Amino acid sequence: MSCIESILTEARDLSRDDLILLVNKLMESFSHETATSSPKKMTAPRLDCPNCHSNAHVVRNGHKHGKQAYICRQCGKSFVTTSNTLLSGSHFGTKI
Ligand SMILES: [Zn+2]
C-alpha cells in the first residue's frame, strides 16, 4: 500500500472538520514547498493593476526608465512595478 492509499484509508475515519484541517495543512506545506524549492522556475509575479485591481489581464509591456513595464488589458492602463507605491516616480528604484 502506498503512502497516499494509507493516508486515504485513515482519512475515511476522520470527521469533516479534521478532513478540512488535513487538507489545509497539506495545502500549506505544498505552497511552502513550491515557494522555496524552485525559485528559478518562478515567472513574473502576478501583479494587480493599480487602476482596476485586476490581475488576470496584466501583461508585460516592455521597459520604462529601466523598469519592467506592464499593461492591463482590462482597463488599458500601463504601469511599472513601483506604480502607486512610495517609490512611484523615484529614481532610486527598489534597491536602496
Ligand atoms: Zn486595470
Cα separation, 47 vs 44, in Å, equals 8
Ordered DSSP codes for the chain: --HHHHHHHHHTTS-HHHHHHHHHHHHHHHHHHHHHH-GGG--SPP---TTT---SSEEEEEEETTEEEEEETTT--EEETTTTSTTTT-SS-S--
Residue extents of the structural domains in the chain? 3-36, 45-83
CA of 30 to the centre of ligand 1 (A): 31
Q: The pTM is what? A: 0.41
CA of 40 to the centre of ligand 1 (A): 28
pLDDT tens readout for residues 12-60: 888 889 888 988 888 888 777 666 655 555 555 678 888 999 888 899 9
What pLDDT is attached to residue 90?
A: 62
CA of 96 to the centre of ligand 1 (A): 28
Mean pLDDT of the region 3-13? 84
pLDDT tens readout for residues 54-86: 888 899 999 988 888 999 999 999 988 765 565
What pLDDT is attached to residue 86?
A: 59
CA of 66 to the centre of ligand 1 (A): 22
Q: Which three cell numbers stand for residue 66?
A: 529601466
